[in-house]
Structures are given as C-alpha cells and as structure tokens.
Amino acid sequence: MSSAASFRLEKDLLGSLEVPADAYYGIQTLRAVRNFHLSGVPLSHFPKLVVALAMVKQAAADANRELGHLSDAKHVAISQACAHLIRGEHHEQFVVDMIQGGAGTSTNMNANEVIANLALEYMGHAKGEYRHLHPNNDVNMAQSTNDAYPTAIRLGLLLGHDTLLASLDSLVQAFAAKSVEFAHILKMGRTQLQDAVPMTLGQEFRAFATTLGEDLEHLRLIAPQLLVEVNLGGTAIGTGINADPNYQALAVQRLATISGHPLKPAADLIEATSDMGAFVTFSSMLKRLAVKLSKICNDLRLLSSGPRTGINEINLPPRQPGSSIMPGKVNPVIPEAVNQVAFEVIGNDLALTMAAEAGQLQLNVMEPLIAYKLFDSIRLLQRAMDMLREHCIVGITANEDHCRRLMENSIGLITALNPYIGYENATRIAGQALLSGRGVLELVREEQLLDDATLDDILRPENMIAPRLVPLKA
C-alpha cells in the first residue's frame, strides 16, 4: 500500500503500477483502461457478457478441481467470487473499453483479476496478495483468452437472446391486435407511392405482424444453433496446450449445466478459434430485422403524414411538441427514432463484417469489435422495439371515413371494375377521371356501364380485398 493507503502496488511484465486500493481489478486491467479511451462503453455496459465471463471461469474451475489441478480451498473461493458476478454484483469493476487491442486479453484479465481479488477476500487475504490465489495461475488455469473470451461472447448472446425474442414477440402481437381492430376499414393500397387497388387497413397491419413474425421464428430457431458450439478447451490456438486431456469435455459440460444452455464442444477447435462465421450470420439476422423495422416505420410515417395535406389514414399517438417555431406541429418522433436505430444496426453489421474478414491465421484479433457490435445491436433493437410498441403502435387510431373517401375517389378503383367493363372502357374511364378530377364511380354511372346493384356488389369489402374470379365481358 502507498503511504496514503489509497493504492496498492502491483507488478506485471512491464513493471509496477499503483492500483486503487478498493478496486477488485488489477494492474493489467488498469493498463488497458489507460490505453483504450475509444468507445467510452465499458464491459459493465453489457451485464450478460459479464455474467457469461463468470460462468466460463466457474466451469473452468469446476473442471480443474475435478481433475485434481485446483485445490478445494481455491475452488471454493473462486466459486464464491463467480457467484457474486453471476448474481449481478460488482459489475462496475469491469471497466475496460469494449473496443481494445489484444484480441480480448484485457477483457479476460479484467475478469481474472476481479474474480481473484474477490476470492482472496473470501479467503481472508487482502486484494493483490496473489501468492495465495493468482489471476493467471488459478482463475485462468487451462484457459487462454482465445478460448475463454469467444466462449463468453457466445454464451452472453444466448443469455440475452430470450429477452430480445420477448420484445419482438410483443411487437408482433401489438401489430396483430391492430390488424383485428382495423379489419373492417377499407382503404386504397399503394405501389410506387401511387394508388393501386383496395385493401383493408387490417390487412396492412397484418402484413407488418407477419413479416416481423418471420424474423421471430428465424431468430428463435437458428440463432441458438449458431452459438452453442464453443471452443473452450482449445486454449491458445485450438490445440489445447496447457490443458488436461480430459479438461475440455468436463469444462463444456459444466458450462452447459451452469448456464442452462446446450453448449457443446466445437468439432474442430483450431477452426473454431479463428472462424467468425456464426457471428457474421447472427449479425445479418439482426440487420434483417432492423431493415424490416425501418421499412415499417417509413410506412407509419407516410400513412400518418399531414394531417391536412398528407395521407392521414392513421393517427400516431402524439408524444411531444414537434417544433420550436411552428405551433401545433407534432412529429412522428417514435418511428423516426427507430429508423435511426436501424441505421446504427446496419452500420454495426458492416463493421462486424469487416472485423470478421480481418482475421489472420489462427486468430481473429478484431473479436472485441465483433462482440461490441453484436451486444450493441441487440440492446438497441430490444429498446427500439419496446419503445415502438409502448409509445406508438398500441395507441394508433384510424381515420375510417377518410380512408373510405380516398378509396372511393381513387382512380385505382377502376381495377376492381375492369373484369366487368373491360380493359378498354376501364382505361378510358381512368383517363377521363384523371383529366377531369371526377370520380371513377361517377363516370361509370353517367355512362351507364354498370347498374347500381352491380356496383354495390363489386364495392362490397369482401369482394375487393380477396381473390374473386369474374369472367371478362365482351
């Protein structure tokens, strides 16, 4: 300790440093904190990653104890330390920036040092008295950053996966509920921002629910398959150097039990240590979800545009005043924010893709960026979906009469009449309506092309929004 008793002196390969006396991390973590002032996002920002790191260390300690390489006293102390972290305690001690050089060594040492010092306290020793229990020799026994870190990333993603699915499922159900509420509201469908053919507002919202539901199923089924294969036991490059021959099977088995996820050893540990393919695929699935969310939010902003000079078929819940200069203006701020989240997730995917490509030989040193972007995308998407559902979707209302008027006044309505009056007549009526500004139905009645009974039948909602084969008249 220093004279002020506010620091303790620790040593490593490069020399000595004063570490804050109350810190559970040690000298290698401190060096990383001083080196990497980049994202400003520490490891503690992603609790599932911290928990996963503790679970990996617990599984390793269990395997080493069972194989006779770790004493009972050290095993109990390490187990107590890991239990604290798994419960969510002491996460503030994980202070290294998510973006770091060294292929994740700083993250691994942050975990090793915190666990070691918590264990030392449990054993009745002061922090930093590593002769009694060492971060590398004991906590990191039979491990390398190159197998412990990627295993923790995979496990951390699995631990947070259910929460992401729950948010997505809730959003799907919110859209589905609106599709039922709006099932009776006729409106004009649009392609290329031009009038197309009639549909219901309920069908439009059902399509939103369906497209997101597809991603829900893909994430539910495919993502776990991508992440359960781990390279724990491969140590430095996948050869398993410095690990007991029986260590890998025991450690992975224990990790599966501790985490509750069906983790399994990678078939080829050398391949698994360097390959980032699973992360690339998982990130692309998150990007796909982001793209869909952004497209839906674009539609919501268009459908609610105006209110007097736009489409104005739906009303988004007003969340805040929209202008510092235009009184009465209310903007679609919730969909706008989701759009921006989507752009960020798409950018994360590109950064991750470049990082995955940049691997060389037996290791990918860019793995910290891969981890950061994956956890960041999940966090952003989850928050964005919850916000969109709570602050927008559940409160959307429809302007039913306006929807009907737009449809009946649309030239696109002529498509529904085409099988009855023929393509030539339909084209001519559409042209007249466009030039004169008069309605299609008005012109059809004026020329007595169809009687009122036939028109009423054609315009029945159930006949306009689903297949109906009608022989074309000569």
Q: Supply the pLDDT for residue 454.
A: 85
Residue whose entry in the numeric block shows the structure tokens 């891969």: 370
- For the residues 442-470, what does the mean pLDDT come to? 80
Tokens of 440: 């299609």
What CA–CA distance (Å, rounded) separates 210 from 206?
6
Q: Average pLDDT of the chain?
A: 93
pLDDT above 90 for 408: no
- For the residues 32-47, what does the mean pLDDT come to? 95
What CA–CA distance (Å, rounded) separates 53 from 86?
9
Per-residue pLDDT tens over the stretch 289-298: 999 999 999 9
Binned at pLDDT 50, 70 and 90, residue 470 comes out as low
Q: Supply the pLDDT for residue 474.
A: 45
Q: Supply the pLDDT for residue 433.
A: 85
pLDDT above 80 for 79: yes
Q: In this structure, are residues 150 and 370 in contact, taking their beta carbons and an 8 Å threshold? A: no
Binned at pLDDT 50, 70 and 90, residue 471 comes out as low
Q: Supply the pLDDT for residue 216.
A: 97
Binned at pLDDT 50, 70 and 90, residue 319 comes out as confident
Q: Is 198 exposed, middle or buried (0-12, 13-18, 19+ CB in 10 A)?
A: buried
Listed in sequence order, the residues at least 6 apart from 62 whose beta carbon sits closer than 8 Å to its beta carbon are 75, 79, 250, 251, 254, 258
Binned at pLDDT 50, 70 and 90, residue 468 comes out as low
pLDDT above 60 for 1: no
- For the residues 373-392, what does the mean pLDDT come to? 98
Active site residues: 323
What CA–CA distance (Å, rounded) separates 254 from 321?
54
Name the residue with higher pLDDT: 347 or 1. 347
Q: Is 314 exposed, middle or buried (0-12, 13-18, 19+ CB in 10 A)?
A: buried
Q: Is 393 exposed, middle or buried (0-12, 13-18, 19+ CB in 10 A)?
A: buried
Residues in the chain: 474
pLDDT above 50 for 244: yes
Q: In this structure, are residues 432 and 444 in contact, taking their beta carbons and an 8 Å threshold? A: no
Per-residue pLDDT tens over the stretch 197-231: 889 999 999 999 999 999 999 999 998 899 999 99
Per-residue pLDDT tens over the stretch 165-189: 999 999 999 999 999 999 999 999 9
DSSP letter string, 63-112: HHHHTTSS-HHHHHHHHHHHHHHHTTTTGGG--SBSS-SSTTHHHHHHHH
pLDDT above 90 for 422: no
Q: What percent of the chain has pLDDT over 90?
A: 79
Per-residue pLDDT tens over the stretch 104-156: 999 999 999 999 999 999 999 999 999 999 999 999 999 999 999 999 999 99
Nearest in space to 273 (alpha carbons), one of 246, 248, 245, 244: 248
Q: Supply the pLDDT for residue 37.
A: 93
- For the residues 450-465, what does the mean pLDDT come to? 79
pLDDT above 80 for 316: yes
- For the residues 248-265, what does the mean pLDDT come to? 97
Binned at pLDDT 50, 70 and 90, residue 443 comes out as confident
Give phi and psi for 67, each to the nearest 5. -85, 0
**Within the chain, how many helices (H) and strands (E) appear?**
17, 8
Q: Supply the pLDDT for residue 442.
A: 84
Per-residue pLDDT tens over the stretch 6-33: 999 999 999 999 999 999 999 999 999 9
Q: Which amino acid is present at 268? A: D
Q: Which amino acid is present at 112? A: N
Q: Which of 37-51, 252-266, 320-334 is least confident?
A: 320-334
Name the residue with higher pLDDT: 340 or 195. 340
Q: Supply the pLDDT for residue 469.
A: 60
Q: Supply the pLDDT for residue 51.
A: 98
